[in-house]
Chains A and B, each alone.
Chain A
Amino acid sequence: MACEQWRGKLDLYADGELAPAEESVLRAHLNSCAACAVDVLDRVQLKRSVHAAGKRYEPSAEFRARIANTIAKTTATKAPSANVWGWRIIFVPAVIMLIFALALNFYLGRERAARQRVYSELADLHVATLASATPADVISSDKHTVKPWFQGKIPFTFNLPEMPGSAFTLIGGRVTYLEQTPGAHLIYLVRKHEISVFIFPERALQMPSLAAGPVNALSFNTESWTQNGLRYFVVGDASADDIHALSKLMRDAG
């Protein structure tokens, strides 16, 4: 009866699929049962025969190399998965835009700060000069007196407009400094409002952003432009129209 009990499990035993406990009991039976032992031997022999016979075919070296190359090429080109590419497609432009925005903001911020600093300094010069007991070192309404006075005092020359019939009157001038650059400071009067006109060599200032339009600096109206390598600033508490009118006269003269 013991043999009948085990007969159905001899394949499992030969295949190593029996549970350890059951396997040890069957092994004990095989030690005492020649018929079952021969049966197991036959099954094991069949397994060995198939194992040996089954390892029959080998791929050619050329075929192996071909597949290996294909895998290497494919994995090299598609290494980043679609998800990673999708992530990159979104992320990389976003980062570039962010960097660009930050750089632009930083640049514009610096520009704004530089402009503000220059106009604040000019407003200070304007106020300090008017508050001075001697606002002008050369006092004259005649441009042919004022202009020559600057010769030898500043490293450039400039033209001044004729003022007959206009609302503007030339009061005088003085040498001033902006950003350690010497320049001309002219003072005009229009309806009791004093207006400062600053002239500096453009190259020395090296602030291209100053070319931007009118700026309201500390409540003063201002206007600025570049002409013949010179940077002009018109600063005063007069109306924007008067500032512009004087600026136009200066431009026309320049």
Chain B
Amino acid sequence: MRVSEDRPSASSFEDLAMPLFDQLYNFARWLTQDTAEAEDLVQETYAKALRGFGSFQQGTNFRAWMYRILRNSFLSSRAGLKIVVPLDEEENENILPAENATPESILIGDANREMVQQALGELPVHFREILLLCEVEEMSYQEISATLGIPAGTVMSRLSRARKALRSLLQQKLKGGRHGV
């Protein structure tokens, strides 16, 4: 399911922004890994968005605009400043060929919810956020590109790497769990 483009011209800031509240908080909580910091981040995002709403370009994607504000606020926060997004590995790189379907990879279907959540939390932030935007927020590559401020080609390659990293983490956890049993 893809969310259609917003139509901000006919609505007030409140009408547009409040329906995004739950998902923005969820995203903020995943980024910060802390409840209080997530609340501060969401509050700061709404305050900045409200101040800048007059300059918001009508007809463009309001959701991507809000996520971009939240992400930029996070990156400029104390926790966000520690985040290093490796750019060199992604630029001008073709989409990585996915690994062949192996018996191990099929077992990912066996990973339970907690295990996936744990693995997501262990991923580097730049992998975690792109997976959340694509899988949870169901953003198109174009929306992700606008939100993260990266080219569409980088969206594809980063997504591929993020999935590979997640898959690898899940396989380790599945093996470990199996060995533990």
Contacts and interface: CB of A to CB of B under 8 A. Distances in A.
Contacts of A87: none
A17 B140 contact: yes
* Secondary structure dominating the interface of B: helix
Given A46-B167, A54-B120, A11 B159 contact: yes
B81 interface: no
Nearest to B94: A8
Contacts, number: 120
Interface in A36-67: 38-39, 42-43, 45-47, 49-59, 63-64, 66-67
A71 interface: yes
B16 to A, nearest CB: 11
Contact of A58 (B26, B105, B113, B120): B26
A108 interface: no
* Secondary structure dominating the interface of A: helix
Nearest to B21: A64
Contact of A53 (B97, B117, B141, B156): B117
Interface residues of B, number: 51
B163 A8 contact: no
B111 A8 contact: no
Nearest to A63: B39
Given A42-B108, A75-B50, A58 B95 contact: no
B98 A81 contact: no
A11 B158 CA distance: 12
A56 B29 contact: yes
B14 A8 contact: no
A59 B46 contact: no
A35 interface: yes
Nearest to B35: A57
Given A8-B95, A42-B106, A75-B50, A59 B12 contact: no
B135 A50 contact: yes
A83 B156 CA distance: 43
A169 to B, nearest CB: 84
A42 B95 CA distance: 18
B30 A8 contact: no
A71 B46 contact: yes
Contacts of B113: 49, 52-53
Contact of A16 (B2, B38, B100, B132): B2
Nearest to A47: B135
Nearest to A71: B14
B134 to A, nearest CB: 7
B123 to A, nearest CB: 10
B83 interface: no
Contacts of B22: 58-59
A11 B98 contact: yes
A51 B136 contact: yes
B38 A57 contact: yes
Contacts of B138: 51
Contacts of A12: 95, 156
A159 interface: no
A71 B18 contact: yes
A146 interface: no
A35 B96 CA distance: 18
A49 B136 CA distance: 10
Contacts of B111: 49
A51 B135 contact: yes
Interface of A: 7-8, 10-12, 15-17, 35, 38-39, 42-43, 45-47, 49-59, 63-64, 66-68, 70-72, 74-75, 81
Q: Would you list the 9 A-B pairs with minimal beta carbon distance, nearest first? A: A54-B136, A53-B116, A57-B29, A39-B101, A50-B135, A59-B25, A45-B109, A53-B117, A38-B101
